[in-house]
Protein backbone atom coordinates (compact mmCIF):
# COMPACT_ATOMS: atom_id res chain seq x y z
CA UNK A 1 0.00 0.00 0.00
CA UNK A 2 2.79 2.40 1.03
CA UNK A 3 4.75 1.51 -2.10
CA UNK A 4 1.76 2.41 -4.20
CA UNK A 5 1.42 5.84 -2.59
CA UNK A 6 5.19 6.49 -3.12
CA UNK A 7 4.67 5.49 -6.73
CA UNK A 8 1.83 8.04 -7.17
CA UNK A 9 3.99 10.75 -5.56
CA UNK A 10 6.92 9.82 -7.79
CA UNK A 11 4.83 10.07 -10.98
CA UNK A 12 3.28 13.32 -9.66
CA UNK A 13 6.75 14.71 -8.85
CA UNK A 14 8.20 13.81 -12.26
CA UNK A 15 5.14 15.28 -14.05
CA UNK A 16 5.42 18.50 -12.00
CA UNK A 17 9.18 18.79 -12.69
CA UNK A 18 8.77 18.24 -16.46
CA UNK A 19 5.71 20.56 -16.46
CA UNK A 20 7.69 23.35 -14.80
CA UNK A 21 10.61 22.82 -17.18
CA UNK A 22 8.37 22.93 -20.25
CA UNK A 23 6.07 25.51 -18.70
CA UNK A 24 3.20 23.03 -19.30
CA UNK A 25 2.39 22.02 -15.70
CA UNK A 26 -1.30 21.17 -16.18
CA UNK A 27 -0.72 19.11 -19.32
CA UNK A 28 2.13 17.14 -17.72
CA UNK A 29 0.05 16.47 -14.56
CA UNK A 30 -2.82 15.25 -16.78
CA UNK A 31 -0.46 12.93 -18.71
CA UNK A 32 0.90 11.61 -15.36
CA UNK A 33 -2.69 10.92 -14.10
CA UNK A 34 -3.66 9.14 -17.36
CA UNK A 35 -0.50 6.99 -17.07
CA UNK A 36 -1.44 5.96 -13.49
CA UNK A 37 -5.05 5.16 -14.52
CA UNK A 38 -3.87 3.10 -17.51
CA UNK A 39 -1.38 1.20 -15.33
CA UNK A 40 -4.06 0.47 -12.72
CA UNK A 41 -6.52 -0.57 -15.41
CA UNK A 42 -3.99 -3.08 -16.77
CA UNK A 43 -3.49 -4.58 -13.31
CA UNK A 44 -7.28 -4.99 -12.82
CA UNK A 45 -7.53 -6.64 -16.26
CA UNK A 46 -4.83 -9.17 -15.31
CA UNK A 47 -6.63 -9.85 -12.03
CA UNK A 48 -9.95 -10.32 -13.84
CA UNK A 49 -8.38 -12.73 -16.38
CA UNK A 50 -6.89 -14.78 -13.55
CA UNK A 51 -10.21 -14.95 -11.63
CA UNK A 52 -12.12 -15.91 -14.80
CA UNK A 53 -9.69 -18.53 -16.07
CA UNK A 54 -7.21 -19.33 -13.33
CA UNK A 55 -5.77 -22.32 -15.22
CA UNK A 56 -4.92 -20.32 -18.36
CA UNK A 57 -3.68 -17.11 -16.73
CA UNK A 58 -1.06 -16.83 -14.01
CA UNK A 59 -1.86 -15.10 -10.75
CA UNK A 60 -0.90 -11.44 -11.38
CA UNK A 61 2.31 -10.56 -9.60
CA UNK A 62 1.68 -7.08 -8.29
CA UNK A 63 2.02 -5.05 -5.20
CA UNK A 64 -0.42 -2.85 -3.32
CA UNK A 65 -4.17 -3.25 -3.03
CA UNK A 66 -4.53 -5.46 -6.14
CA UNK A 67 -2.01 -7.86 -4.70
CA UNK A 68 -3.97 -7.93 -1.40
CA UNK A 69 -7.21 -8.66 -3.27
CA UNK A 70 -5.67 -11.45 -5.34
CA UNK A 71 -4.05 -13.14 -2.31
CA UNK A 72 -7.32 -12.92 -0.29
CA UNK A 73 -9.18 -14.35 -3.26
CA UNK A 74 -6.63 -17.12 -3.63
CA UNK A 75 -7.00 -18.06 0.07
CA UNK A 76 -10.80 -18.12 -0.31
CA UNK A 77 -10.53 -20.33 -3.37
CA UNK A 78 -8.25 -22.79 -1.59
CA UNK A 79 -10.53 -23.05 1.47
CA UNK A 80 -13.59 -23.47 -0.82
CA UNK A 81 -11.80 -26.24 -2.67
CA UNK A 82 -11.10 -28.00 0.63
CA UNK A 83 -14.70 -27.57 1.80
CA UNK A 84 -16.02 -28.93 -1.51
CA UNK A 85 -13.74 -31.93 -1.22
CA UNK A 86 -14.94 -32.61 2.32
CA UNK A 87 -18.60 -32.30 1.22
CA UNK A 88 -17.97 -34.67 -1.67
CA UNK A 89 -16.46 -37.16 0.78
CA UNK A 90 -19.51 -36.88 3.07
CA UNK A 91 -21.85 -37.19 0.08
CA UNK A 92 -20.17 -40.29 -1.26
CA UNK A 93 -20.08 -41.82 2.25
CA UNK A 94 -23.83 -41.11 2.64
CA UNK A 95 -24.60 -42.50 -0.82
CA UNK A 96 -22.57 -45.64 -0.16
CA UNK A 97 -24.38 -46.07 3.20
CA UNK A 98 -27.81 -45.45 1.65
CA UNK A 99 -27.07 -47.89 -1.19
CA UNK A 100 -26.08 -50.59 1.29
CA UNK A 101 -29.48 -50.26 3.07
CA UNK A 102 -31.84 -53.18 2.52
CA UNK A 103 -34.75 -50.69 2.18
CA UNK A 104 -35.54 -48.65 -0.92
CA UNK A 105 -34.97 -44.90 -0.45
CA UNK A 106 -36.22 -42.22 -2.83
CA UNK A 107 -35.97 -38.46 -2.30
CA UNK A 108 -38.92 -36.57 -3.80
CA UNK A 109 -39.25 -32.83 -4.35
CA UNK A 110 -42.28 -30.73 -3.42
CA UNK A 111 -44.06 -31.79 -6.66
CA UNK A 112 -43.50 -35.52 -6.10
CA UNK A 113 -40.69 -35.71 -8.69
CA UNK A 114 -37.71 -37.98 -8.11
CA UNK A 115 -34.52 -36.22 -6.93
CA UNK A 116 -32.39 -39.15 -5.82
CA UNK A 117 -32.67 -42.89 -5.14
CA UNK A 118 -30.59 -45.78 -3.84
CA UNK A 119 -29.85 -49.10 -5.51
CA UNK A 120 -32.61 -50.97 -3.65
CA UNK A 121 -35.20 -48.55 -5.08
CA UNK A 122 -34.29 -49.82 -8.54
CA UNK A 123 -34.70 -53.45 -7.41
CA UNK A 124 -38.02 -52.99 -5.58
CA UNK A 125 -39.68 -50.12 -7.41
CA UNK A 126 -38.13 -50.42 -10.89
CA UNK A 127 -36.94 -46.78 -10.85
CA UNK A 128 -33.80 -46.03 -12.91
CA UNK A 129 -30.90 -43.75 -12.11
CA UNK A 130 -30.36 -41.26 -13.71
CA UNK A 131 -33.01 -41.81 -16.42
CA UNK A 132 -35.99 -41.32 -14.06
CA UNK A 133 -34.65 -38.22 -12.30
CA UNK A 134 -37.29 -35.45 -12.28
CA UNK A 135 -40.00 -37.96 -13.32
CA UNK A 136 -43.14 -37.72 -11.14
CA UNK A 137 -43.18 -40.87 -8.95
CA UNK A 138 -46.93 -41.20 -9.64
CA UNK A 139 -46.07 -42.00 -13.29
CA UNK A 140 -43.93 -44.96 -12.22
CA UNK A 141 -45.93 -46.44 -9.27
CA UNK A 142 -49.61 -46.58 -10.11
CA UNK A 143 -51.02 -48.83 -7.38
CA UNK A 144 -54.22 -47.16 -5.97
CA UNK A 145 -53.11 -47.40 -2.33
CA UNK A 146 -49.80 -45.71 -3.22
CA UNK A 147 -51.62 -42.99 -5.19
CA UNK A 148 -53.93 -42.38 -2.19
CA UNK A 149 -50.97 -42.19 0.21
CA UNK A 150 -49.11 -39.76 -2.07
CA UNK A 151 -52.04 -37.36 -2.34
CA UNK A 152 -52.73 -37.66 1.41
CA UNK A 153 -49.10 -36.82 2.35
CA UNK A 154 -48.79 -33.97 -0.17
CA UNK A 155 -52.14 -32.39 0.73
CA UNK A 156 -51.83 -32.66 4.51
CA UNK A 157 -50.95 -29.50 6.46
CA UNK A 158 -50.29 -31.31 9.72
CA UNK A 159 -47.88 -34.11 10.55
CA UNK A 160 -49.35 -37.56 9.83
CA UNK A 161 -49.04 -40.49 12.23
CA UNK A 162 -46.76 -43.40 11.18
CA UNK A 163 -49.90 -45.45 10.36
CA UNK A 164 -51.35 -42.65 8.23
CA UNK A 165 -48.13 -42.18 6.26
CA UNK A 166 -47.63 -45.90 5.51
CA UNK A 167 -49.28 -48.26 3.06
CA UNK A 168 -48.69 -51.74 1.64
CA UNK A 169 -48.83 -52.82 -2.00
CA UNK A 170 -47.23 -55.41 -4.30
CA UNK A 171 -43.82 -54.39 -5.69
CA UNK A 172 -44.09 -53.04 -9.26
CA UNK A 173 -41.17 -55.28 -10.32
CA UNK A 174 -42.49 -58.50 -8.76
CA UNK A 175 -46.10 -59.01 -7.70
CA UNK A 176 -45.05 -61.65 -5.14
CA UNK A 177 -43.21 -59.07 -3.01
CA UNK A 178 -45.24 -56.92 -0.63
CA UNK A 179 -43.77 -53.50 0.15
CA UNK A 180 -44.58 -51.48 3.23
CA UNK A 181 -44.04 -47.92 2.02
CA UNK A 182 -43.89 -44.67 4.00
CA UNK A 183 -43.57 -41.10 2.74
CA UNK A 184 -42.41 -38.45 5.21
CA UNK A 185 -41.50 -34.78 4.76
CA UNK A 186 -37.95 -34.19 5.93
CA UNK A 187 -36.38 -30.86 4.88
CA UNK A 188 -36.94 -27.77 2.72
CA UNK A 189 -39.98 -29.14 0.92
CA UNK A 190 -38.32 -32.51 0.25
CA UNK A 191 -39.95 -35.88 1.02
CA UNK A 192 -38.36 -39.24 1.81
CA UNK A 193 -39.96 -42.42 0.49
CA UNK A 194 -38.93 -45.62 2.28
CA UNK A 195 -40.11 -49.01 0.99
CA UNK A 196 -39.46 -52.23 2.93
CA UNK A 197 -40.04 -55.82 1.86
CA UNK A 198 -42.58 -57.26 4.35
CA UNK A 199 -43.50 -60.38 2.37
CA UNK A 200 -42.16 -62.77 5.00
CA UNK A 201 -43.87 -60.90 7.82
CA UNK A 202 -47.19 -61.07 5.99
CA UNK A 203 -46.71 -64.76 5.18
CA UNK A 204 -45.97 -65.52 8.85
CA UNK A 205 -49.01 -63.51 9.90
CA UNK A 206 -51.21 -65.40 7.43
CA UNK A 207 -49.87 -68.73 8.74
CA UNK A 208 -50.62 -67.59 12.31
CA UNK A 209 -54.15 -66.44 11.42
CA UNK A 210 -54.90 -69.67 9.53
CA UNK A 211 -53.49 -71.76 12.38
CA UNK A 212 -55.64 -70.01 15.00
CA UNK A 213 -58.73 -70.27 12.79
CA UNK A 214 -58.14 -73.97 12.07
CA UNK A 215 -57.40 -74.92 15.68
CA UNK A 216 -60.47 -73.02 16.93
CA UNK A 217 -62.60 -74.69 14.31
CA UNK A 218 -61.23 -78.17 15.09
CA UNK A 219 -61.75 -77.71 18.85
CA UNK A 220 -65.30 -76.45 18.55
CA UNK A 221 -67.00 -79.76 17.66
CA UNK A 222 -65.35 -81.97 20.34
CA UNK A 223 -65.99 -79.27 22.91
CA UNK A 224 -69.68 -79.07 22.00
CA UNK A 225 -69.95 -82.87 22.43
CA UNK A 226 -68.11 -82.64 25.77
CA UNK A 227 -70.37 -79.81 27.00
CA UNK A 228 -73.45 -81.80 25.93
CA UNK A 229 -72.39 -84.87 27.94
CA UNK A 230 -71.59 -82.77 31.00
CA UNK A 231 -75.09 -81.27 30.85
CA UNK A 232 -76.66 -84.74 30.47
CA UNK A 233 -74.68 -86.03 33.47
CA UNK A 234 -75.65 -82.98 35.54
CA UNK A 235 -79.32 -83.91 35.04
CA UNK A 236 -78.70 -87.30 36.66
CA UNK A 237 -80.37 -87.17 40.07
CA UNK A 238 -78.48 -90.21 41.44
CA UNK A 239 -75.04 -88.56 41.51
CA UNK A 240 -73.31 -87.88 44.82
CA UNK A 241 -72.28 -84.37 45.89
CA UNK A 242 -68.61 -84.80 44.94
CA UNK A 243 -69.47 -85.89 41.38
CA UNK A 244 -71.91 -82.99 41.02
CA UNK A 245 -69.23 -80.56 42.17
CA UNK A 246 -66.75 -82.00 39.66
CA UNK A 247 -69.35 -81.73 36.90
CA UNK A 248 -70.08 -78.13 37.84
CA UNK A 249 -66.35 -77.22 37.58
CA UNK A 250 -66.15 -79.07 34.25
CA UNK A 251 -69.19 -77.19 32.98
CA UNK A 252 -67.79 -73.80 34.07
CA UNK A 253 -64.44 -74.42 32.35
CA UNK A 254 -65.97 -75.85 29.19
CA UNK A 255 -68.23 -72.78 28.98
CA UNK A 256 -65.19 -70.51 29.25
CA UNK A 257 -63.36 -72.50 26.61
CA UNK A 258 -66.42 -72.30 24.38
CA UNK A 259 -66.55 -68.52 24.83
CA UNK A 260 -62.82 -68.25 23.93
CA UNK A 261 -63.30 -70.38 20.81
CA UNK A 262 -66.31 -68.33 19.72
CA UNK A 263 -64.33 -65.08 20.19
CA UNK A 264 -61.30 -66.50 18.32
CA UNK A 265 -63.51 -67.59 15.42
CA UNK A 266 -65.16 -64.16 15.32
CA UNK A 267 -61.71 -62.45 15.33
CA UNK A 268 -60.55 -64.78 12.51
CA UNK A 269 -63.61 -63.85 10.49
CA UNK A 270 -62.84 -60.16 11.01
CA UNK A 271 -59.21 -60.66 9.97
CA UNK A 272 -60.04 -62.67 6.85
CA UNK A 273 -62.52 -60.17 5.45
CA UNK A 274 -61.00 -56.74 4.91
CA UNK A 275 -64.39 -54.94 4.82
CA UNK A 276 -67.53 -55.48 6.94
CA UNK A 277 -69.98 -57.58 4.91
CA UNK A 278 -73.61 -56.60 4.42
CA UNK A 279 -73.43 -53.02 5.64
CA UNK A 280 -76.56 -50.93 6.11
CA UNK A 281 -77.61 -47.96 8.28
CA UNK A 282 -77.62 -49.20 11.90
CA UNK A 283 -79.74 -47.33 14.43
CA UNK A 284 -77.44 -47.21 17.45
CA UNK A 285 -80.33 -46.40 19.83
CA UNK A 286 -81.91 -49.76 18.95
CA UNK A 287 -78.64 -51.64 19.49
CA UNK A 288 -78.21 -49.98 22.87
CA UNK A 289 -81.73 -51.03 23.94
CA UNK A 290 -80.87 -54.66 23.06
CA UNK A 291 -77.49 -54.46 24.84
CA UNK A 292 -79.15 -52.92 27.92
CA UNK A 293 -81.09 -56.15 28.42
CA UNK A 294 -77.92 -58.26 28.10
CA UNK A 295 -76.12 -55.95 30.56
CA UNK A 296 -78.98 -56.23 33.08
CA UNK A 297 -78.80 -60.03 32.85
CA UNK A 298 -75.01 -59.94 33.44
CA UNK A 299 -75.49 -57.49 36.33
CA UNK A 300 -78.15 -59.82 37.86
CA UNK A 301 -78.66 -59.05 41.51
CA UNK A 302 -75.71 -56.63 41.56
CA UNK A 303 -78.26 -54.07 40.38
CA UNK A 304 -76.03 -51.61 38.57
CA UNK A 305 -77.68 -48.31 37.69
CA UNK A 306 -77.72 -47.58 33.93
CA UNK A 307 -78.08 -44.06 32.57
CA UNK A 308 -78.51 -43.56 28.82
CA UNK A 309 -78.18 -40.32 26.91
CA UNK A 310 -78.59 -41.49 23.34
CA UNK A 311 -79.32 -39.58 20.13
CA UNK A 312 -82.35 -41.55 18.82
CA UNK A 313 -81.86 -40.45 15.20
CA UNK A 314 -78.17 -41.01 14.64
CA UNK A 315 -77.22 -44.07 12.57
CA UNK A 316 -73.92 -45.66 11.53
CA UNK A 317 -73.40 -47.09 8.06
CA UNK A 318 -71.90 -50.46 8.94
CA UNK A 319 -72.40 -54.06 9.99
CA UNK A 320 -75.11 -54.38 12.67
CA UNK A 321 -73.70 -57.71 13.92
CA UNK A 322 -70.16 -56.40 14.27
CA UNK A 323 -71.22 -53.15 15.96
CA UNK A 324 -73.52 -55.07 18.34
CA UNK A 325 -70.64 -57.34 19.30
CA UNK A 326 -68.22 -54.42 19.90
CA UNK A 327 -70.68 -52.29 21.92
CA UNK A 328 -71.81 -55.34 23.93
CA UNK A 329 -68.20 -56.11 24.88
CA UNK A 330 -67.69 -52.53 26.12
CA UNK A 331 -70.94 -52.27 28.07
CA UNK A 332 -70.63 -55.78 29.57
CA UNK A 333 -67.01 -54.96 30.57
CA UNK A 334 -68.30 -51.88 32.40
CA UNK A 335 -70.70 -54.15 34.31
CA UNK A 336 -68.02 -56.78 35.02
CA UNK A 337 -65.46 -54.33 36.36
CA UNK A 338 -67.79 -52.00 38.33
CA UNK A 339 -68.91 -52.80 41.91
CA UNK A 340 -72.56 -53.69 42.56
CA UNK A 341 -75.07 -50.84 42.67
CA UNK A 342 -72.74 -48.34 40.94
CA UNK A 343 -73.58 -46.09 37.98
CA UNK A 344 -72.79 -46.91 34.33
CA UNK A 345 -73.43 -44.17 31.75
CA UNK A 346 -73.77 -44.60 27.99
CA UNK A 347 -73.71 -41.54 25.68
CA UNK A 348 -74.23 -41.55 21.92
CA UNK A 349 -73.95 -38.11 20.34
CA UNK A 350 -72.62 -36.18 17.37
CA UNK A 351 -70.32 -33.15 17.35
CA UNK A 352 -67.94 -31.42 14.91
CA UNK A 353 -65.48 -34.33 14.96
CA UNK A 354 -68.03 -37.11 14.25
CA UNK A 355 -70.25 -39.54 16.18
CA UNK A 356 -69.15 -40.74 19.62
CA UNK A 357 -70.27 -43.62 21.82
CA UNK A 358 -69.00 -43.24 25.39
CA UNK A 359 -69.27 -45.89 28.07
CA UNK A 360 -68.41 -44.40 31.43
CA UNK A 361 -68.13 -46.40 34.63
CA UNK A 362 -66.90 -45.60 38.11
CA UNK A 363 -65.48 -49.02 38.70
CA UNK A 364 -62.06 -50.52 39.39
CA UNK A 365 -60.24 -48.46 36.75
CA UNK A 366 -57.06 -49.49 34.93
CA UNK A 367 -53.47 -48.47 35.72
CA UNK A 368 -51.88 -46.18 33.09
CA UNK A 369 -49.20 -48.74 32.15
CA UNK A 370 -51.82 -51.19 30.81
CA UNK A 371 -53.79 -48.76 28.66
CA UNK A 372 -51.73 -49.00 25.45
CA UNK A 373 -51.82 -52.82 25.47
CA UNK A 374 -55.45 -53.49 26.43
CA UNK A 375 -56.57 -54.24 22.85
CA UNK A 376 -53.94 -56.99 22.41
CA UNK A 377 -55.32 -60.52 22.41
CA UNK A 378 -55.39 -62.10 25.88
CA UNK A 379 -53.95 -58.98 27.53
CA UNK A 380 -55.57 -58.47 30.90
CA UNK A 381 -54.93 -55.65 33.36
CA UNK A 382 -56.09 -57.87 36.19
CA UNK A 383 -55.94 -61.53 35.08
CA UNK A 384 -57.50 -62.93 38.28
CA UNK A 385 -60.50 -60.61 38.18
CA UNK A 386 -60.99 -61.17 34.41
CA UNK A 387 -61.11 -64.98 34.86
CA UNK A 388 -63.43 -64.70 37.86
CA UNK A 389 -65.80 -62.67 35.70
CA UNK A 390 -65.65 -65.23 32.88
CA UNK A 391 -63.61 -62.93 30.61
CA UNK A 392 -61.90 -64.34 27.53
CA UNK A 393 -59.30 -61.57 27.22
CA UNK A 394 -60.41 -61.08 23.61
CA UNK A 395 -63.23 -58.54 24.00
CA UNK A 396 -61.22 -55.38 23.41
CA UNK A 397 -59.28 -56.98 20.52
CA UNK A 398 -62.66 -57.58 18.85
CA UNK A 399 -63.70 -53.98 19.60
CA UNK A 400 -60.49 -52.65 18.02
CA UNK A 401 -60.94 -54.72 14.84
CA UNK A 402 -64.60 -53.83 14.42
CA UNK A 403 -63.88 -50.13 14.89
CA UNK A 404 -60.96 -50.20 12.43
CA UNK A 405 -63.23 -51.78 9.83
CA UNK A 406 -65.67 -48.91 10.36
CA UNK A 407 -62.91 -46.24 10.13
CA UNK A 408 -63.52 -45.53 13.82
CA UNK A 409 -61.11 -45.19 16.72
CA UNK A 410 -61.09 -46.28 20.36
CA UNK A 411 -59.86 -43.96 23.11
CA UNK A 412 -59.52 -45.24 26.68
CA UNK A 413 -59.26 -42.98 29.71
CA UNK A 414 -59.00 -44.56 33.11
CA UNK A 415 -57.85 -44.01 36.64
CA UNK A 416 -57.44 -46.66 39.31
CA UNK A 417 -60.29 -46.68 41.87
CA UNK A 418 -61.99 -43.81 39.97
CA UNK A 419 -63.31 -45.45 36.80
CA UNK A 420 -62.94 -45.74 33.05
CA UNK A 421 -64.27 -44.12 29.89
CA UNK A 422 -64.21 -46.04 26.61
CA UNK A 423 -64.93 -43.76 23.65
CA UNK A 424 -65.62 -45.02 20.11
CA UNK A 425 -65.44 -42.21 17.53
CA UNK A 426 -66.93 -42.61 14.05
CA UNK A 427 -66.14 -40.27 11.14
CA UNK A 428 -68.89 -38.08 9.65
CA UNK A 429 -68.74 -40.09 6.43
CA UNK A 430 -70.18 -43.10 8.34
CA UNK A 431 -73.04 -41.19 10.02
CA UNK A 432 -76.63 -40.84 8.87
CA UNK A 433 -79.06 -38.68 10.79
CA UNK A 434 -82.72 -39.43 10.20
CA UNK A 435 -85.63 -37.08 10.90
CA UNK A 436 -87.09 -37.51 14.43
CA UNK A 437 -90.48 -38.80 13.21
CA UNK A 438 -88.80 -41.30 10.87
CA UNK A 439 -86.97 -42.77 13.85
CA UNK A 440 -90.23 -43.23 15.72
CA UNK A 441 -91.68 -45.05 12.70
CA UNK A 442 -88.70 -47.37 12.68
CA UNK A 443 -88.92 -47.99 16.42
Least Å distance, CB 310 to ligand ADP, is 19
104 is a contact residue toward ligand ADP (CB under 6 A) = no
CB of 220 to ligand ADP, least distance (A): 19
Q: Which is nearer to ligand ADP, 108 or 394 (CB)?
A: 394
Write down the least CB distance from residue 391 to ligand ADP, Å: 3
Which position among 19, 32, 318, 391 is part of the footprint of ligand ADP (CB under 6 A)? 391
**How many of the chain's residues bind ligand ADP (CB under 6 A)?**
20
Q: Kindly tell me which residue out of 194, 260, 291, 366 binds ligand ADP, with binding defined by CB under 6 A.
A: 366
* Alpha-helical segments (H) within 273-374: 284-299, 320-336, 368-371
Binding window for ligand ADP (CB under 6 A); candidates: 224-232, 249-257, 300-308, 388-396: 388-396
Q: Which range, of 5-13, 115-123, 317-325, 360-368, touches ligand ADP by CB under 6 A?
A: 360-368
Q: Which of residues 414-443 bind ligand ADP (CB under 6 A)?
A: 420
b/e 21-46 (16+ beta carbons within 10 angstroms → b):
eeeeeeebbeebeeeeeeeeeebeeb
CB atoms within 10 A of CB 224: 12
What b-and-e string marks burial along 136-172, b requiring 16 or more CB atoms within 10 Å of the CB? ebeebbebeebeebbeebeeeeeebeeeebbbbbebb
The answer to whether 333 contacts ligand ADP (rule: CB under 6 A) is yes
Phi-psi category of 146—alpha, beta or left, where left has phi over 0 and alpha has psi -120 to 50?
alpha
Q: Which residue number, 112 or 363, has a Cβ lying nearer to ligand ADP?
A: 363
User: CA–CA separation, 372 vs 411, rounded Å?
Assistant: 10
180 in Cβ contact with 163 (< 8 Å): no
Phi, psi of 147 (to 5 degrees): -60, -40
Q: Which of 137, 392, 400, 406 binds ligand ADP (CB under 6 A)?
A: 392
Q: Classify residue 15 by burial, with Cβ atoms within 10 Å: 0-12, 13-18, 19+.
A: buried
410 counts as binding ligand ADP under rule CB under 6 A: no
- Give the one residue of 141, 267, 326, 334 binding ligand ADP; rule: CB under 6 A: 334
For residue 107, what are the β-bridge partners? Answer: 116, 192
Q: Which of 123, 136, 393, 431 binds ligand ADP (CB under 6 A)?
A: 393
Residues of this chain that interact with ligand ADP (CB under 6 A) are: 329, 333-334, 337, 361, 363-364, 366, 374, 380-382, 386, 391-396, 420
Amino acid sequence: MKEEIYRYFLVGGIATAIGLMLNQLLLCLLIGAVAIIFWQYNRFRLLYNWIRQPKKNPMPYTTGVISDISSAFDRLKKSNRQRKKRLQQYMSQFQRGASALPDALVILDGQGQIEWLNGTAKRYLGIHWPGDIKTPISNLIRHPSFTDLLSEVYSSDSELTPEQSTTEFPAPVDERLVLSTSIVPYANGLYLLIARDVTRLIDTNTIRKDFVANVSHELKTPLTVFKGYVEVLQDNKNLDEQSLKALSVMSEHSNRMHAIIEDLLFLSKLEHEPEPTGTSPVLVAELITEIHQVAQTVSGNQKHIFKFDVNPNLMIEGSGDELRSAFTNLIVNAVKYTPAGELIKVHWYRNKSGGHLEIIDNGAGIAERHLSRLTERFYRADAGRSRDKGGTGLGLAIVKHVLQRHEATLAIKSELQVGSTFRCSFPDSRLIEIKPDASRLKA
